[in-house]
Each structure stands twice: as C-alpha cells, then as structure tokens.
Amino acid sequence: MMGSVQHREGEDGKRYDVFHTDCPARDVVDHVTSRWGIWVLISLRSGSLRFYELRESIQGISEKMLAQTLRALVQDGLVWREVEPTAPPQVTYGLTEFGRDVGEPLTELFDRITLRLSPRNAE
C-alpha cells in the first residue's frame, strides 16, 4: 500500500510527517512555495543563468531576496551553484535533477494559468 502524502517513508528509511513542524520535507515545500522560490525555479527551467540574469528575469525581486532564495534552494538541493574565479566572480545557477522534478509541475501550473487567462487579465 502506498503511503499517504502526510506520512511517507523517505529513501533513507526515515518517516516524514509533513504536518509536523520538524519535518524536513516541510522546509523544502516552504522554500519552493515562498514568494520568490517558484519564480526562481520557473526562470531556471530553460537552463542555467547568472545571478544578474536571474535578477533581470524576475521583475520586482531585490538582490537581497534573490540571494536568500537561492541560498535556501541550493541548501535544499534544488539548485546548483557554480562560481567562476574571475574578478568579480561570476556565479551561475541551474536546476538539479531534484529541482527539475519539483519545478516541472510548477511550470505546468504556470503554463495552464497563463493559457486560461483572457487577454484583458494579462495586462
């Protein structure tokens, strides 16, 4: 029998309870569904981007919020980070396999919403 969404056993054999405040899966969901987490994952769906490219692709996000969001998503294993040792350093971000798996339904949701919006709502 498959486990419920609330109680699921992870690959390491630990049991996750998403309604418990100490559940590590809950932290990942919080980061993904944060105000900016979704937009970072959607922005990276087409490939890797440098920090400034991400900032330009997500209108309204501050550098501070982008840095905090990226830090959380990297720590969760959803996004990878590569630093080129140049002056100034060039930092590139992309989706990990886990990030692509999580981002795919978000991208589908975004695409469905934008397809259903009338032209009047899109302005």
Confidence band for 21, pLDDT divided at 50, 70 and 90: confident
Helix (H) or strand (E) segment spanning residue 91? strand 90-95
Q: Residue 39: its pLDDT value, please?
A: 94
Exposed/middle/buried for residue 86 (C-beta within 10 Å: 0-12, 13-18, 19+): exposed
Q: Say what percent of the chain tops pLDDT 70.
A: 85
**Residue 12 and residue 15: Cα distance in Å, rounded?**
9
Confidence band for 110, pLDDT divided at 50, 70 and 90: confident
Q: Residue 72: its pLDDT value, please?
A: 95
Question: What residue type is 35 in one-letter code?
Answer: R
Confidence band for 59, pLDDT divided at 50, 70 and 90: very high
